[in-house]
Amino acid sequence: MLGGLGEIFAVGNLRIRIGFDNVTGYALADSLNQLQQLSQFSVCDLRTTLQDGDAPKILDVRTLAEWDAEHLEGAMHVPLPAVPGKIQELPKDEPLAVICGSGYRSSIAASFLQSRGFRRVQNVMGGMGAYGETRCADWQPADLVFIGENI
């Protein structure tokens, strides 16, 4: 039984925002007694690792239409609702960066994978939207060298 408008909104949000049509249960954040932190991966770090050839495996959880419009070369495509059924096909012991359009669906997928024993999973912050729009510096902070007096 739903206890208030906030809960109704939360369940409705599952249907509309991330594409789940058959919601059979849910838990409110206040009812959880164990918390884990999900590692976040910036789009600039992702871009750098892709350029350097040492990027993690990339799991794209967007819809097929979003994937067809654009995707990162070499990424695996598993839409968010299909992730639980494809979990055996995903690399559990390798670094895995999960991406979507904005970071919302990927955080759900990455959290789910983490709860199933994927210890090297990261959420790509801002998703493909940020990947396409963010201008990343061509230097790293360690590249800065200060020479002179009074520094």
Which has the closest alpha carbon to 106: 124, 89, 88?
124
Report how far apart, in Å, the C-alpha atoms of 114 and of each of 12, 59, 69, 136 are. 25, 14, 28, 28
| Assessment of whether the complete model's pTM goes beyond 0.85 | no
DSSP letter for 69, please. H
Q: Where are the beta strands (DSSP E) in 45-151?
A: 57-60, 76-77, 96-99, 121-124
How does pLDDT run across 26-81, given as a tens digit for each residue? 666 677 676 678 999 999 999 999 999 999 999 999 999 999 999 999 999 999 99
Identify the residue whose tokens are 């594409």: 19
How does pLDDT run across 1-32, given as a tens digit for each residue? 445 555 555 555 555 555 556 666 666 667 76
Domains in the chain with CATH codes: 1-28 (no CATH), 38-136 (3.40.250.10)
Torsions phi, psi of 38, nearest 5? -95, 125
